[in-house]
Amino acid sequence: MDKRLLYVLPLCLAIVLGWGILAEKLGWVQKPAPRPPAPPAAPAEPAAREADSARGAASAPAAVDPGPPAVGPVVADDAERRETFVVGRPGEPGYYRATFSNRGAVLVELRTGNDFDRAGRSAEERADPAHWRVLVGEEQSKDQPGSFALRATLSAQPLVREPLESALWRGRLLGAEGQPEGVEYELAPGTGVTFVKRFRFVPGSDQVLLELEIKNDAFSDVSGYRGFLLTPAAGVPNDSGDSFYLEPQGVAVARPAGESKPSIKVQMPERTGSVLVGTIASPKPLLYAGVHNKYFAVLVRAADAETAPTLQGASWRALRDEAWLARHPGKDHDAWRQLVVDVDLQLALPPVGASRTWNYAAYAGPKQRDQMVAVLPAHSALLEEDLGFVSSVAGVLLWILGFFHSLTSSWGLAIVLLTLVVRVVLFPLNRRSQTAMARYQSKMKRIQPRIEELKKRYEKDPKKLREEQARIMQEEGAFPPLGGCLPPLLQLPIFIGLFRAIGVSFDLHQEPFLGIIRDLSLPDQLLPLGLTLPLVGHVAAINVLPPIMVVMWILQQRAMPRPTEEQALLMYKMMMWMPIVMGIFLYNYAAGLSIYMITTSTLGIIEQVYIKKRWPIDDKELPKKSGGFMSKLMEAAAERQKQAEAQRRKQKVR
């Protein structure tokens, strides 16, 4: 191995660890112009209590203008109250811990007991809701009332006296005593209508049902539609630890008339705060809309055909992530890490004395294909969007991985077996390509003395040198084999597809391997440090698999025959540095991809060192083929060159 690599490898590691912080401390990162300060955070709310515990009251809401005399009933609460309860069974979909607030009648926090804040939790820790995965939470959304907040737009303002998202609704638990199934909230602001929101959880399913009811007690103007904004998810965390996946993201999906495939629009977060609001353009009516991060999603849809036309569009808003900012003080320019989606509802009021109910459902759970598609087939559009333009290749690779996992019960072994299958399938093509390249190099070695003689003879006439070299190449049929680059080109879409599949597949989330890798979807972090380094800051661990991947890749290239032709030799030397570049790029990527690369390099070395000794490559020159593609190409080039030379001579004569 080139001794320079021994210096380059630790240097590259130092660059990876220190580049970001060093650039910022030296002022290389350009910060945007200062923005107006964010709105002040809401006052601290009382801690959540269990359903049967005493209810705490927060400070009274700000005084509002009473306005005209009340029309119809007035229903509200006098203090802020919360309800926290657990629904579902451990290990089954729909195992939640939910916290609701009557201020705005919203879902404040939702945790799933089927996933945890980090891999490797003990059974005792898994039973503690404090370690359950947060699907939506208030820590990240202090400027947002909560999930399923309802806001009245201009056309609905006559129906309210104060914002629906901050009013104190009157609530009660639904279900049997001690076994809550949901919660109901009611608000009658004295305008002649009564609003009712009912939340129910579907047993054995990652779904939350929302019934939105409007009772018309005495409101006479029922013409036209009234506009509202429903916020499906507030405070979706961005805590996957993956710098390659920007989260959370807003999404709106519709199926245009006459189309079988859904149309999907995704909104990425704008962390600098340069753009704070926008529309997610999509056809009408919507199929579903919401917010998702790398592994979980909260997506709202109409639960029946009558409700479907009410979903008229979606917009998004960026919010500051105060929890992240508290952990990274001084980075206000990068704190706009929260994003919420507002769904535009157009509701027709019932006549006086009647009521009308609209039924909505939200999928709130993992982005696991079987579960999501079972709830709504159109959810597959979001999963395919995550896989990107190689979704077809990535989908096949995930299917193969799933098959091997069913045999081994290990996703790490499934990746190793997938790598072996790829090498076996491509072996005949690789062998043919290597044979053709060996014969080409053998021929070039034979005619190299003639080339060197031409270089000396036409040292001062480069044009003549090129012509004579081309003549010799054509006479000998010494053309690089076209299939030489085919195996790498065939492996490229497999690599890209696996790159996307491993990066977003929920199947690999928190999956261990060999007792040393805790999570195949994250960097390995095999070497704990727990140190604070100058210019770098706190470094919890060093990733070991990427450097091993680089070393194995270099060893594989070193095991390949060293070319003798000048240009091929130059390319060979350049390729020796490519593993280092890729190692830097993939340093913080999922450990599962490093396992794939290490395995494929190991198999390549075995192929070069062992198989070729037992089954040597035939580098014997074959007779020159007449009329080959490259021969015709060279003849055509020579003919064009002669014509151009003749044309120049004619011009000189004139």
Mean pLDDT calculated for residue range 189-215: 96
pLDDT of residue 21: 43
Same domain? 410 vs 303: no
172 lies in some domain: yes
For residue range 462-511, list pLDDT tens digits in order: 888 877 777 777 777 666 666 556 666 777 888 888 888 888 999 999 99
574 lies in some domain: no
| b (16+ CB within 10 A) / e for 245-281 | eebbbbbbbbbeeeeeebebbebebbbbbeeeeeebe
pLDDT of residue 587: 85
5 lies in some domain: no
Same domain? 181 vs 194: yes
Nearest in space to 203 (alpha carbons), one of 295, 311, 307, 89: 89
SS3 label, residue 286? strand
Mean pLDDT calculated for residue range 195-215: 96
- Let me know how long the chain is: 654
Residues forming a β-bridge with 345:
228, 311
Residue 244 has pLDDT above 90, yes or no: no
Contact 450, 470 (CB under 8 A): no
In degrees rounded to 5, what are phi and psi of residue 389?
-70, -10
Alpha carbon distance, N-terminus to C-terminus of the chain:
61
pLDDT of residue 203: 92
Contact 484, 433 (CB under 8 A): yes
Among 466, 485, 514, residue at a domain's last position: 514
Same domain? 296 vs 428: no
Residue 188 has pLDDT above 60, yes or no: yes
SS3 label, residue 620? coil
Same domain? 167 vs 250: yes
Average pLDDT value over all residues in the chain: 80
For residue range 17-76, list pLDDT tens digits in order: 454 444 444 333 333 333 333 333 333 333 333 333 333 333 334 444 555 777 888 999
Count of structural domains, the chain: 2
pLDDT of residue 26: 39
Same domain? 359 vs 489: no
Tell me whether the omega of the peptide bond preceding residue 189 falls within 30 degrees of 0, making it cis: no
For residue range 110-145, list pLDDT tens digits in order: 999 999 988 889 999 999 999 999 999 987 656 678
Query: What's the rounded Cα separation, in Å, for the pair 507 and 222?
Result: 50
pLDDT of residue 239: 79
Given pLDDT bands bounded at 50, 70 and 90, which one contains residue 166? very high
For residue range 578-593, list pLDDT tens digits in order: 778 888 888 888 899 9
526 lies in some domain: no
Same domain? 418 vs 497: yes
| b (16+ CB within 10 A) / e for 396-434 | ebbebbeebbeeeebbbbbbbbbbeebbeebeeebbebb
Contact 563, 480 (CB under 8 A): no
193 lies in some domain: yes
Among 341, 375, 409, residue at a domain's last position: 375
**Residue 314: CATH number of its domain:** 2.70.98.90
Tell me whether the omega of the peptide bond preceding residue 285 falls within 30 degrees of 0, making it cis: yes
Instruction: Order the strands of the 149-152 sheet from edge to edge.
Output: 149-152, 225-231, 338-348, 311-319, 277-279
Residue 357 has pLDDT above 70, yes or no: yes
pLDDT of residue 20: 43
264 Cβ neighbours under 8 A, 6+ residues apart: 251, 252, 253, 282, 381, 382, 385
Residue 16 has pLDDT above 50, yes or no: no
90 lies in some domain: yes
Same domain? 334 vs 477: no
644 lies in some domain: no
Nearest in space to 198 (alpha carbons), one of 14, 54, 359: 359
Same domain? 358 vs 486: no
Higher pLDDT, 647 or 556: 556
Same domain? 209 vs 223: yes
Given pLDDT bands bounded at 50, 70 and 90, which one contains residue 79? very high
Among 347, 375, 403, residue at a domain's last position: 375
334 lies in some domain: yes
Higher pLDDT, 370 or 448: 370
Given pLDDT bands bounded at 50, 70 and 90, which one contains residue 345? very high
pLDDT of residue 468: 78
Angle at CA 443, nearest 5°, toward 437 and 449?
135
Same domain? 368 vs 397: no
Same domain? 356 vs 480: no
Same domain? 399 vs 279: no
**Containing domain of residue 431, as a range?**
379-514
pLDDT of residue 24: 41
Given pLDDT bands bounded at 50, 70 and 90, which one contains residue 607? confident
